[in-house]
Amino acid sequence: MVKLAAFDMDGTLLMPDHRLGDRTLTTLKRLRDRDITLTFATGRHSLEMRHVIGELALDAFLITGNGTRIHSLEGDLLHQQDLAPDVVETVLHGKWQTDASMHIFNDDGWFTDKEVPLLLQAHAFSGFRYQIRDLQRVASDEVTKICFCGEHDDLCRLQTQLQEALGDRAHLCFSALYCLEVLPVGCNKGAALTALTRHLGISMQECMAFGDAMNDSEMLSSVGRGLIMGNAMPQLIDGLPHLTVIGHCQTQAVSHFLAHWLDTPHLPYSPE
């Protein structure tokens, strides 16, 4: 018996143009009609996601910032976790050998120190955007996460540098091939979903979840049924070989799988 369905956004629920397809929206509403709790679990900011669910007229819990914040259906903050100030200081003042751009997130928004127009394409449907600011002036005691965006090979080298400098003081993960995130210790979508299920009085075994990137790994591996997108990062598929791989986000594969699950659960499922 599934009581909650959790969805990553980019590369999973959203199509490659970062929009929600009509079939997907219809299927999500069918889940709500079955009294299945919806949860969007994403690296996106809570300010953006609260706008998105308002536009879509969907009641959903929000896990944002890759687990740094959890909000109720009414928008109340249920959980928060920030980076330790010493970690923020280390990252901000470190001399990193990288061409990647640095981005800081806190409850007020998304901040970076130079224009990166390409990144705004993923937020065109919501209008959410970064603010240009001297990152050295951002208060270190109010940072939820730090993100580096660039070429994947460059980010892999940066990951090694950050691991050496931070040790066990932070959690590093790829939320996309081009996006490396510095998160609080123990902070991930799986831990956040566990906290939410406790709040709701249900078990993780009563949840299903969908994702496509390494920041979805803990969530997918801890629920009763985890589903991996066909367009997922190879590392995710290799790391969770026992989980079902469905179709591509381009073809709204989440909707395809859920329609099968709702209408013909007695039949075996195969991707499109």
**Residues with catalytic annotation?**
8
Helix (H/G/I), strand (E/B), else coil: 101: strand
**Of the candidates 159, 200, 242, the residue with the CA atom closest to the CA atom of residue 6:** 200
**Sign of the alpha-carbon dihedral angle for 105, 177, 118, 91:** positive
DSSP letters spanning 124-143: TTTT---EE--GGGS-GGG-
Cβ proximity of 116 and 149 under 8 Å:
yes
**Of the candidates 126, 70, 75, 133, the residue with the CA atom closest to the CA atom of residue 105:** 133
Q: How many CB atoms lie within 10 A of CB 29?
A: 15
**Sign of the alpha-carbon dihedral angle for 155, 160, 166, 170:** positive
Separation between Cα atoms, residue 55 and residue 72, nearest integer Å: 17
Cβ proximity of 212 and 231 under 8 Å:
yes
Structure tokens at 163: 């691991």
Separation between Cα atoms, residue 162 and residue 96, nearest integer Å: 8
**How many angstroms separate the Cα of 176 from the Cα of each of 195, 235, 236?**
24, 11, 11
Size of the chain in residues: 272
